[in-house]
Every structure is written in structure tokens, then in C-alpha cells.
Amino acid sequence: MLLYGRDLETAAIADRLAAAREGRGSALVVRGEAGIGKSSLVAAAAESAHDVTVLRCTGVESEHAWSFAGLQALLLPLAGHLETVPEHHARVLARILGLEAVPDKTARPGDLRFTVGLAALSLLTEAAGHRPVLAVVEDAHWLDPDSADVLLFVAKRLAAEATLMILTVREGYAPDFPTPGLDEIRLGPLDEEAAGSLLAERLRGHQSVDRDQLLRSAEGNPLALLELPLVESDARLAAEWTGMRSTTSRLKQVFGDRIDRLPEATRTLLLVIAADDTADTGLVIDVAAKLGAQLTDLAAAEADDLVRFHGDRFTFGHPLIRTAAYQSAPVFRRIETHRVYADVLDTDDFRRAYHLSAAATGPDETVAAALEASAQCLGTCGGHGVEYAVLERAAAFTPDPHERGRRLLRAAEAAMAGGNGPKAKELYGQILRFTDDRKILARATLMVALVTAWDNDIRESYRLYMQAADHFIAAGDQSTGYPLFRAVELAWQAGDFSRAEVAAEHAERLGIEHAWLVRDLANATAGFNRSCAVTVGEAVAALRRLINVHNESGESVTPENRGMVAWWQLLIGDIDAAEQTASDTVRLARQRGAAGALPRALILNGITEFRRGRWRDAEALAENAVDLSIELGHRIGPVKARAHVLAVTAAFRGEEERTRAIIEAAQADSPGDTVVAIDSPLALLDFSMGRNEEAMDRLMALLDSNAPGEALTLVPIAVEAAVRAGEPERVAGVFDWFTQWAEASGQPHLMAQVERCRGLLADEREAGAHYERAAELHKEDDGFPFETARTDLILGEWLRRARRVNEAKTRLRSAAAVFERLGAEPWAERVRRALRAAGDAGPIEAAPDLADKLTPQELQVVRLAAAGLSNREIGEQLYLSPRTAGYHLYKAYPKLGVASRNELARLGL
């Protein structure tokens, strides 16, 4: 196929296709206005791919409400590979592809973008293992939402697959189709030379046409150059063309006029095809016959190249022809066509409901009930993205206000299940307008409170949870405790003890069954926020009771609630338990497909890994949480992952520019309710860089402001900064608070920090005993290398001043090895200065940290491989294909100096 003026784009696609043949896959988005040549570009690529399996699907406006229609069209040719993919993936895909009539009741719940996405990726991987694959998705902006979600999921995970995916997207007069993270080509107008060549081919020597006028009118649009010669021969069309602003509008008018010139029966048949775009050719013929048309009437449209029969279905020569065929028909003919479709289709065919609604002219309970039944089928099959759209449409046709509210609630919950928070909020607004039923309002408000928390709007989410509790009480529902409990948790995140107390008092006033749980969480909030009413010891005791309640629930505890338990365990200083719970939660969430719970679990696991001195692991988990949160559309995940892990690690390493860049990224997603998360890394950076006064001012501002409980961990830094700044009196209150916490926790690693701080605040002659006691406590719990090294550094400096030089060198060298391994350069430099002062200028030999040699993705893959997981199991854990897991593994081998999986286990990874 000869393409004019597209040499660069053609070469770029050819390069990607060549890379795919070698196992280096990718995805490419081709954007441009209607008629600019997107379809021609990908058609040329497909035409050149003789040794490649070519898969195609086209987003169609009329299929926008048919769940997984696009994915089915793309993957159905690969059905023969289903027997080679994992059984649960095969079950999911058999259902999606329409090969399994009965829904699979054993299918695992979860976010469908990930469950179906991983299954689709698995199928593509198997197919590409036999022959490279070119997957062409045209008019992706018209894909049904479920197909779009899955295909974008797959497109981001093709790096190690022999697959090239190309998606074409129309810009202007079409729905937005954002594709973050994917490479794009934007097709602009043809240059003058290419436009002239294309027009010359079209005119084929006709001299009667004003060539210059055609070039000016077409504005470099290839389709316009092909159609304009027909327009120029009609004075009326030429005048209308000149008066229209957009090329899309001009082309639609041209196609509409070409259709208008056809016989009536031909126009009817085109309308029938455009109204359904079904692959069931027999259905099209049946409907057309009832409207007075037959297959032979299509000849005129075929002769004019408006429609053709391709494979087993009718296809239009261009998507705008479909639009013109439908929109140029009178409204009564469209309604009549949809009504006949509804009459011909079986009652259990989900398409029937669509045609019934398209034929309806006002509220109609029959139509609404049919749409709801159709949505039920879509939801069972996993199509939440379309389910909510069909339910919203059902609500619009519902005459009864109560039923309308109920259907809107189902739509909102389906939108939330599909990860579409903005749509869930929009539907919530409609619910408020159409119903005052407190049961419906309770569920709806609970739903939107969770969605609002995803957006990191903590205070508004708190308000909504409180409102949901009132609705539950008014409805006589016993579920009131849950929203009040969540309200307290959110008040805690916002550092607002007064609101936590309001929620607890409300629970007690209402006399609900689980009011004591709400009270315990409120007391914990108070104790961890330095309230006069509750001590931090009482707060620790309250959290222990809550942890016990959840642990006694065993396997019934959801991944979301397990994440909350891990956070509580962090707050009572039980890092061992928090690490186990967080890692178990990550594994459980991945096994169950509970993607929504994963970001928080990954962040908490990252925090525990950081505390354990495995900073590279912590960063890998946090970066995974950022990527996953963005994919899910949750704003709160990136904020916390960046602020609690990535920025803190960068700060202790003295990476000033990187720390500030991470904080700026976190601030961009934060409405201001995560002050500690944003400000504490800056304080840690100041302290690491020796800016003690600035560090102390920042830290004391946080610690004096009812900051969330995790601020407690900053107290030892504040104490050291205050001492070095010559203002130890400023930290007396917060140090007492920290000491109470450490004593209540009973954790040796916290008491070691208490002793170190006591030494800093003590007289020089008494300080040594406290430092040595701290070092002994670290030996009791040696899983915190950074804190141990900080104690060794301070003790080593004191020993040098006490003229115990050999002991000082031993402590300082121990500290230096840890700081070097962690990459904490400011701290390592401080040790080197102390060693030089002790007369030791020799090189520091730090045990190599193998994790530092790997990328975050490689590190996660290697950890799982070392634990004995297969590539397939690793892929399911990390939402990758098995081949991609193997790709990362084999890239890691030479970096680690090993040649097989068996050797990984011996590296201590």
C-alpha cells in the first residue's frame, strides 16, 4: 500500500514490528483528526506483516454499551490457545469471549482490569510464543469501557512479548481517550508535496478541476483530498463544504450526501447495519426484510465503496460513513429500526435491551427492567465498566422515583467496583435528587465516602461517613458502626482528634453494638496525638485490643482490613508483626485480585522494609504502589508512597533534588490533609545535611500540631537536632511522650532510641552509660541496622572524646559499613570525619548490597523467584506475563553473578 507523506511514521511502526519479531514488544497510539490517515497507516503495517498473526478490532459507537465487545472481537481468533493458558485465566476468557454460556461461579473476585487484563495478557503471550502478534485496535475512543481498561492494562505490559499493539484514536468530535504511559504518534496534515501527489493520483489527468482550490480546501487531510473532487463537481456541496469549520463535519456531510443519492431500500439497509453493527449477518438480513429491504439492495452502496462484506460481517469504508448512515436517517426511521431489532432478538439477548431503549420515547418500566436484567448479566460476566452505564440508562427510563434511586445506586456501586470514582460521585448526585429513601442514601453515602477517600479528600470523606451513619440509623440498619469507625480512622489521618471524639461520642449516644470499637480507635487517636485526656500508653492498649479483635476473625478479614491492622502494628512499634501482616496482605490481595487494597498494603510493607534497613526493597514496593494507584485512579496512594517511603529514603541518602522532586509530586496530588507526609521528609533532609536548626523547627512544628501518630517516630531525630542546635529544652515534652510510647510498646529497638536520646540530653560524663545501654538493647533486637548504626556513630564519637580510641574505631567502622551499604552518604561522611579524628583514614569495607544492583521491578521478581515461585506465579503476583517475569529475572542474573534460580536462594535474597 502506497502512503504519501508518511515515511517517518511507516518506518517507526516497521521498527517496532521488527522489535516485536525479536521478542521486544510495545504499544503505540496513533492520534489524529478524522480522515488524516490513521486507518491507512495501520492497514499498511498489517499488509506488510506476512509472518505475523494480525488481530483486529474496531471500537464502534453503537457497541459502546456492550461489555467486552472490543476485547471479544480482538481475541476470539486466539480461542484455540485457551487450553494452554492457566485454568482460571481460561475460564475468565471463555466467559468474556462468549464461549461459556453459564457464568463461572468459581471465578475470583477483584478489580476486573487486573483479573481480565492478566488473563488477556496470558492468552496473547501464548499466541506470541508461536508467532509474533500485531494487535490493531481502531477507533479506540469508541471501545466499551471494559475493553478499553483491559487493553490499556495489556498495552503497558508488552515489553518482553513478541507483540505490537497499535491503537488509533480520533481527536475532535469523539470521546477523550487518555493513554498515559504509552508512546504516541500524532498524524498531522500532509505537506504540500505529498498532498499534491495524492490529489494527482485521485484526479488521474482531469484538467477541469481547480487543483489549487482543492489543495487549499483539503488542508492536507488525505480523506478530504480523495472526497473533494466529488464535492467540487456539485456547486451546492462545494458551498456547504466551504462554510463548515471542521474537516470531520465536512466529511460527514459528503458521506451523507452520497448516501442520500442512493435508493431508499439501500439507505434502509445501511441504517440497519449502522444501528447494530452485529456480526450476525442473518440478523441484519431479517431486520432489513421487515423494513422492506433485502441483501441485493446493498449493491449500490458497495459500488460506491460505502460498505463491503468482509469476513463474516458488513463493514463501512470509514467510521464516518457509519455515523452518516445513522444520523442522516429521519428519527422515526431510527426508532422503527431499533424496534424491529428488539422484536427479532431473543428475550434473553442482552442487545435487545439496548434496542428497546433506543426505540423508547419516554419513561417505560418495561424498558428499564430489560436494561437492568441486561446489566445483571454484564456484571456477572465481569463488565463493571459497562454495567454502570446500562444501569444509569435503566434509571433514566424508570418512572417510579424509588426504583430510579435504587437503580442509580446499583449503577454507582458498579462504577466504584470498576474503579470509576468520578462517575460514582456523579451518580451519587443524581441519587440525592431522586430519592429520600434512607436505606438507599445510607449505601450511596457510604460508597461515595470511600471514593472520596481514594481522592485523598480526607475531611470530606469524614463528613460523608458521619452522614452515612445517620442514614443507617434512620433506616434501622445495624451497620452504623462501620461508617463511624471509618470516620475516626480518617480523622486520625487528618490529625484531627476533635472529629474522632465526635464520632466516638456519636456511636456511644446511639448505643450501637460495636460502639466500644469506635471508642478504642478514638482513644488511640487521642493518645497518639498528645491529647491530655488519653495517654499514649492507653492508646497502645486500645490498639492492641483492636488488633486482637481482627486477628480473632481469622480468614474472614478482608485485605483492606488487614492493611489497617498492619498500620496499627506499626503504631505500637511491633515492626515484626507489621512486616508479616503487610507482606501477607500484599500476597492475599494479589491472590484474590483485590487490586484496590494493594497500594496501602504495598506502602505499609515498604515502611517495614525501610525500618529493617532494606531500602531498595522499600523503594521497589513504594514505586509499585505509585504505579498501581495511578492505574486504579486513587490519588491517595501516590501521596503516601512518595512521602512515607520514597522521599524519606532520598532524604536520608542526602539526595536533595530528588527529595524535593518527590515531595512536589506528592503535593500535586494532596489537598492538604497529609501535612506530616509532606513536611517530614524535608525535616529529615535538613537533618541529614547538617541543617540542625531548620530540621528542629520543622519537626517541632509537626510534633506540636496534633500530627498523626506516625510523627512519634520523628522524635529521636528532633532530640538530636535540638541538642546539636543548642536548644535541648525545646524537646523535653515530646521526648517524654516518646518515652511513654516506647515503654508501653515494650520493644527493645524503641527503648534503645530512648537511651540514645537520654545520652544526648545528659551530662557528658553520664552520656556514655546511656549510649552503651542503647547498644546493648540493639543487640536484643538487631533487625534495625540504620538505627543501630546511628547509635554506633554517636557512641563512637563519645568514645573518641573519652579517649577510648580503639573502641571508638570499632563502633564507627560498624556504623560506616551500614551507611555505605544503604547509600546514606551524609551519614557515611560524618562517620568518615569521626574516624579521621580518631586517627583512622583507612578505606571502609561495606558488605555489598546486591539489591542496589537491580531495578525495582527486577528486585521484586528476584525476591519471588528466590522464594521458589515459578515465572507464571511471579507474573500473577506482579500483574506481568510469565515471559516478562522471566525477562526481568534473566536480566538480573549477570548483575548478581548467578546463572540459575537455584543459586538465587543462596544469596540471602
- Name residues whose C-beta falls within 8 Å of residue 693's C-beta, 6 or more positions apart in sequence: 721, 725
Cell 466529511 -> residue: 251
Give the mean model confidence (pLDDT) for residues 634-639: 85
Q: What is the per-residue pLDDT across 530-557, written as a single tens digit (0 to 9) for each?
A: 777 889 999 999 999 999 998 887 655 6
The pLDDT score that the predictor gives to residue 232 is: 53
Are 718 and 699 within 8 A, CB to CB? yes
Q: What is the per-residue pLDDT across 421-451, written as a single tens digit (0 to 9) for each?
A: 888 999 999 999 989 999 999 999 999 998 8
Q: What is the per-residue pLDDT across 478-530, written as a single tens digit (0 to 9) for each?
A: 788 889 999 998 888 777 888 999 999 999 998 888 899 999 999 998 888 87
- CA dist., res. 529 & res. 707, Å (int): 6
The pLDDT score that the predictor gives to residue 353 is: 85
CB neighbour class for 333 (10 Å; exposed up to 12, middle 13-18, buried from 19)? middle
Are 155 and 165 within 8 A, CB to CB? yes
Mean pLDDT, the chain, integer = 86
The pLDDT score that the predictor gives to residue 240 is: 55
- Name residues whose C-beta falls within 8 Å of residue 112's C-beta, 6 or more positions apart in sequence: 146, 149, 150, 382, 383, 384, 385, 417, 418
Work out the pLDDT band at 108, boundaries 50, 70, 90: very low
- The residue among 602, 640, 594, 341 whose CA lies nearest residue 493 is 640
Are 451 and 416 within 8 A, CB to CB? yes
Are 559 and 583 within 8 A, CB to CB? no
The pLDDT score that the predictor gives to residue 538 is: 94
Q: Identity (one letter) of the amino acid at 567?
A: W
Which DSSP category does 495 fall into? T
The pLDDT score that the predictor gives to residue 265 is: 94
Going by their DSSP bridges, the two strands 307-310 and 313-316 should be labelled as antiparallel
- CA dist., res. 427 & res. 416, Å (int): 10
Cell 528476584 -> residue: 862
- Name residues whose C-beta falls within 8 Å of residue 691's C-beta, 6 or more positions apart in sequence: none
Higher model confidence: residue 827 or residue 490?
A: 827
The C-alpha cell of 74 is what?
480482538
Distances (CA, A) of 728 to 582, 692, 731, 738, 856: 36, 12, 6, 15, 40
- CA dist., res. 141 & res. 118, Å (int): 22
The pLDDT score that the predictor gives to residue 798 is: 95
pLDDT at 188 over 70: yes
Give the mean model confidence (pLDDT) for residues 183-188: 94
Q: What is the per-residue pLDDT across 679-704, written as a single tens digit (0 to 9) for each?
A: 789 999 999 999 999 999 999 988 87
Are 866 and 909 within 8 A, CB to CB? yes
Are 602 and 589 within 8 A, CB to CB? no
Higher model confidence: residue 304 or residue 593?
A: 304
- The residue among 398, 488, 480 whose CA lies nearest residue 439 is 480
- Name residues whose C-beta falls within 8 Å of residue 699's C-beta, 6 or more positions apart in sequence: 680, 683, 714, 717, 718, 721
Work out the pLDDT band at 728, boundaries 50, 70, 90: very high
Lowest mean pLDDT across 65-74, 81-90, 399-408: 65-74
Work out the pLDDT band at 852, boundaries 50, 70, 90: confident
- CA dist., res. 198 & res. 90, Å (int): 47
Are 268 and 330 within 8 A, CB to CB? no
Q: What's the chain's length in residues?
A: 909
The pLDDT score that the predictor gives to residue 711 is: 82
Work out the pLDDT band at 675, boundaries 50, 70, 90: very low
pLDDT at 234 over 70: no
Distances (CA, A) of 460 to 212, 395, 409, 463: 61, 27, 20, 5
pLDDT at 37 over 60: yes
Are 21 and 132 within 8 A, CB to CB? yes
- CA dist., res. 364 & res. 361, Å (int): 9
Are 173 and 34 within 8 A, CB to CB? yes
Lowest mean pLDDT across 85-89, 268-272, 672-676: 672-676
Cell 473532487 -> residue: 229
- CA dist., res. 707 & res. 695, Å (int): 16
Higher model confidence: residue 576 or residue 238?
A: 576
pLDDT at 107 over 50: no
pLDDT at 641 over 80: yes
Percent of the chain at pLDDT above 70? 90
The pLDDT score that the predictor gives to residue 706 is: 61
- The residue among 262, 326, 321, 327 whose CA lies nearest residue 35 is 321
Phi, psi of 354 (to 5 degrees): -60, -45
Lowest mean pLDDT across 98-107, 465-474, 882-891: 98-107
- CA dist., res. 752 & res. 777, Å (int): 5
Structure pTM? 0.82
Q: What is the per-residue pLDDT across 835-847, written as a single tens digit (0 to 9) for each?
A: 999 988 777 766 6
Higher model confidence: residue 133 or residue 564?
A: 133
The pLDDT score that the predictor gives to residue 701 is: 87
b/e code 426-454 from CB counts within 10 Å (16+ = b): ebbebbeebbebbbbbbbbbbbbbbbbbb
Question: Which residues are registered as beta bridge partners of 29?
Answer: 167, 184
The pLDDT score that the predictor gives to residue 104 is: 45
The C-alpha cell of 103 is what?
457464568
- The residue among 366, 367, 390 whose CA lies nearest residue 380 is 390
The pLDDT score that the predictor gives to residue 613 is: 92
